[in-house]
A and B are shown apart, each in its own frame.
Chain A
Amino acid sequence: GIQVEQSPPDLILQEGANSTLRCNFSDSVNNLQWFHQNPWGQLINLFYIPSGTKQNGRLSATTVATERYSLLYISSSQTTDSGVYFCAGGAGSYQLTFGKGTKLSVIP
């Protein structure tokens, strides 16, 4: 099956700083999604981005499908950005393989 590696596993930022999270895939995927899990467990879908670049407010994501990686950019971080960021990938069907996540802590 597809292996998903996320880096870094942990990240501590000062409020206002920018960050880049990375997700590598062992094989090609045509379904790639980024999620944010808040401290209470709620997972929110941030992006569906099998290729190219998308932006949503302070967040943006870029996927380079030919090189099997995706990046999530967080700009001007806020304390509410804290939580765990997951990427997940799949190649057809309903199977999505999740990475172990990047735990982000934004401190005031």
Chain B
Amino acid sequence: ETGVTQTPRHLVMGMTNKKSLKCEQHLGHNAMYWYKQSAKKPLELMFVYNFKEQTENNSVPSRFSPECPNSSHLFLHLHTLQPEDSALYLCASSRPVSGANVLTFGAGSRLTVL
């Protein structure tokens, strides 16, 4: 248990479904992140929120919609996804160390799009 909890751990959805991934951190960190991990590709940063404000959006398609209601919770709303969106979605939070952001990850939500 890292202090970052993701639900659900596994999700199967059709291309016309709408679903959401949830992330909660109990570490008192200010920043929260969504990363995507596809097979045989490096982790890709999707979104970053700092104190509930979005600070990074790495050209992510609009079918992925993040929401950060407070510093402890982060959601990723999914709609009309494609099969190539199947991946492990990782949430992280970070604490500042000497000006750098040190990450703590959740266990991930494995998404399969049929």
Contacts and interface: CB of A to CB of B under 8 A. Distances in A.
A55 interface: no
A99 B45 CA distance: 13
B48 A94 contact: yes
Given A48-B102, A50-B100, A98-B43, A93 B56 contact: yes
B55 interface: yes
Contact of A94 (B56, B90, B98, B107): B56
Given A48-B97, A93-B56, A95-B56, A33 B107 contact: no
A100 B31 CA distance: 24
Interface stretch (A18-26, A39-47, A60-68, A69-77): A39-47
A88 B103 CA distance: 10
Contacts of A50: 98, 100
Interface residues of B, number: 29
Contacts of B48: 94
A96 B45 contact: yes
Interface bin, chain A: 20 to 34
13 contacts: A30-B100, A35-B105, A40-B107, A41-B107, A41-B110, A42-B2, A43-B92, A43-B105, A90-B100, A93-B55, A94-B31, A96-B101, A100-B42
Interface of B: 2, 31, 33, 37, 40-43, 45, 48, 50, 55-56, 88, 90, 92, 94, 97-105, 107-108, 110
